[in-house]
Amino acid sequence: MQQRSLGDIKRRISTLHHEAAFANPVEKPEMYTLLCKYYLLVSAIAYDQMCLDESIGLINRVITIAEENTLYDVWSFALRDRGLTYLERAEIIVSLKGFAAAQADLMRQRVICRPHYTSNAISRFIAKRLSCSQQVQLKHT
């Protein structure tokens, strides 16, 4: 059932890509918004299945489409989703490989989100994952 639904969504995405490119200027924003929402739906499914790289790739498509078509509400939503997905992937990497391996995703998330939010989020994240001695050592470096 799920594979059939996913196949249906992918068909709709393909059809919308083709139709939106040739749509009249009045319908284009609406069609591209719908296309972005389908991509975000597939991205959410990938996220739920912990296929985070695929989810990020789909969100990147949304960001590109939204930016090219000045759909800034969709664009900002996709940027937020991408930041949260990077943060989730970083948590998993820290659990498996350690904090140093996740720094790239944490820095990507920092660029995407507001600085005061990010520093608080990263501080909470570090506090959750590191022991007290590692926190002290991290502050001194």
Give me the domain span that covers residue 39. 2-140
At 30 the pLDDT is: 92
For the chain, give the mean pLDDT. 76
The CATH number of the domain holding residue 23 is: 1.25.40
Question: Does residue 131 sit in helix, strand or coil?
Answer: coil
Reading the block at residue 115, the tokens are 């600085």
Cβ atoms within 10 Å, residue 13:
19
Higher pLDDT, 29 or 133: 29
pLDDT of residue 117: 44
Q: What is the mean pLDDT of residues 44-61?
A: 90
- The pLDDT assigned to 64 comes to 94
How many independent structural domains does the chain possess? 1
User: Residue by residue, what is the 3-state secondary structure of 13-61?
Assistant: HHHHHHHHHCCCCCCHHHHHHHHHHHHHHHHHHHHHCCCHHHHHHHHHH
What's the rounded Cα separation, in Å, for the pair 1 and 11?
Answer: 15
| Residue 128, pLDDT above cutoff 70 | no
pTM of this prediction exceeds 0.85: no
> Above 60 in pLDDT, residue 133?
no
- Tell which residue, 82, 84, 80, has the closest CA to residue 125: 84
Per DSSP, 69 falls in state T
d(CA 103, CA 14): 36
pLDDT tens, position by position, 74-127: 999 999 999 888 888 887 877 777 767 777 777 766 554 444 444 455 555 555
Rounded Cα–Cα distance for residues 90 and 87 (Å): 5
Residue 63 has pLDDT above 90, yes or no: yes
